[in-house]
């Protein structure tokens, strides 16, 4: 059975002690660093850009999974790659030329991810699914950490898994928003391959133990 990946979201980390928080993830069982880039235009919040990402890259010993919640992401793909992104995820809603942007990401050597807002149907990916390395299913409206999980994500994940299997796509399914110990197992069961966890990890009394617990779940059904 394929083991799922866990990507703690640094959005919920203490940025005054960023090096310690990165260290915690380095020595934990987590697989990736999830880095949320927001521009105040695609989403109503602003986080960080290249400069902070480069600093994270210098300390991180695991891949950087960079979630671009920005308009016109195609303008910045190469710069985010240079800053250290291993996976670059753009929003389908922000890309009028999604097919081109996916290939642009791959050509600069990163893995290409596409994120879908909660209202965006899986069918939007029908003609590009075989080119995608990762689909990020947003289980909250993007922009903030600590929001409530939207349950429609479960049937949506199942539907996406069917599309991925029937099209022979290598894409992993990542779930982002409101993920924690209460829903991790049902998400894996629905077909999730990567769980992003912000406040449930960094807000926990013992983040390392929570990471261990989130990694310990298993889907009972093998895809």
The site for ligand DX5 (CB under 6 A) is made up of 9, 11-12, 34, 36, 67, 140, 142-147, 176-179, 196-200
From 4, 57, 67, 91, residue interacting with Zn ion (rule: CB under 5 A): 67
> Is the CB of 18 or the CB of 167 nearer to Zn ion?
18
- Start-to-end CA distance of the chain, whole Å, equals 8
Total residues interacting with Zn ion, rule: CB under 5 A: 3
Catalytic-labelled residue, pool 31, 39, 133, 176: 176
Alpha helices for the chain (secondary structure H): 18-27, 50-59, 77-83, 98-107, 153-166, 184-190, 199-202, 207-216
Partner from ligand DX5, Zn ion, none binding residue 110, C-beta < 5-8 Å depending on class: none
State the Cα–Cα distance between residues 78 and 53, nearest whole angstrom: 13
Closest residue (Cβ) to Zn ion? 67
Between CA 133 and CA 131 the distance in angstroms is 7
Is 36 tagged catalytic?
A: yes
Q: Is 176 a catalytic residue?
A: yes
Determine the distance from the C-alpha atom of residue 176 to the mean position of all C-alpha atoms in its chain, rounded to a whole number.
6
Q: Which does 197 bind (CB under 5 to 8 A by kind): Zn ion, ligand DX5, none?
A: ligand DX5
Question: Residue 12's binding partner, choosing from ligand DX5, Zn ion, none, with beta-carbon cut-off 5 to 8 A by kind?
Answer: ligand DX5
State the nearest-atom distance from the C-beta of 148 to ligand DX5, in Å.
9
Nearest to ligand DX5 of 14, 127 (CB atom):
14
Residue 65 binds to Zn ion (criterion: CB under 5 A): no
Compute the least distance from the CB of residue 212 to ligand DX5, in Å.
17
Is 36 a residue that touches Zn ion (CB under 5 A)? yes
Residue 77 CB, nearest approach to ligand DX5 (Å): 18
Q: Residue 176 interacts with Zn ion (CB under 5 A)?
A: yes
Q: Which residue is nearest to ligand DX5 (CB)?
A: 198
3-state SS class at 7: strand
Choice among 36, 39, 65, 193 that is catalytic? 36
Contact 83, 105 (CB under 8 A): no
Return the one option of ligand DX5, Zn ion, none that residue 198 interacts with (CB less than 5 to 8 A, by type).
ligand DX5
Question: Quick check: 10 and 196 in contact, CB under 8 A?
Answer: no
Residues 6+ apart with CB under 8 A from 98: 90, 92, 114, 128
CA gap 130, 167 in Å, rounded: 7
Q: Which residues lie closer than 8 Å to 94 by C-beta, 6 or more apart?
A: 42, 68, 70, 71, 72, 73
């Amino acid at each position: 059975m394929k083991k799922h990946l866990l990507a703690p979201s640094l959005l919920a980390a203490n940025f005054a002690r960023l090096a310690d928080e990165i260290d915690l993830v380095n020595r934990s069982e987590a697989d990736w660093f999830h880095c949320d880039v927001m521009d105040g235009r695609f989403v109503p919040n602003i986080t960080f850009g290249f400069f902070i990402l480069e600093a994270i890259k210098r300390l991180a010993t695991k891949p950087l999974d960079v979630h671009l919640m920005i308009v016109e992401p195609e303008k910045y793909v190469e710069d985010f790659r240079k800053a250290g992104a291993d996976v670059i995820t753009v929003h389908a809603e922000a890309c009028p030329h999604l097919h081109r942007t996916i290939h642009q990401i791959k050509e600069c050597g990163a893995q290409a991810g596409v994120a879908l807002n909660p209202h965006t149907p899986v069918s939007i990916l029908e003609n590009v699914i075989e080119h995608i390395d990762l689909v990020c299913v947003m289980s909250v409206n993007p922009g903030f950490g600590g929001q409530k999980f939207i349950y429609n994500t479960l049937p949506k994940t199942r539907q996406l898994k069917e599309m991925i299997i029937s099209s022979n796509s290598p894409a992993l399914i990542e779930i982002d928003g409101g993920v924690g110990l209460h829903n991790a197992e049902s998400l894996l069961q629905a077909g999730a391959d990567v769980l992003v966890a912000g406040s449930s990890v960094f807000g926990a009394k013992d983040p390392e133990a929570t990471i261990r617990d989130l990694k310990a779940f298993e889907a009972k059904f093998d895809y």
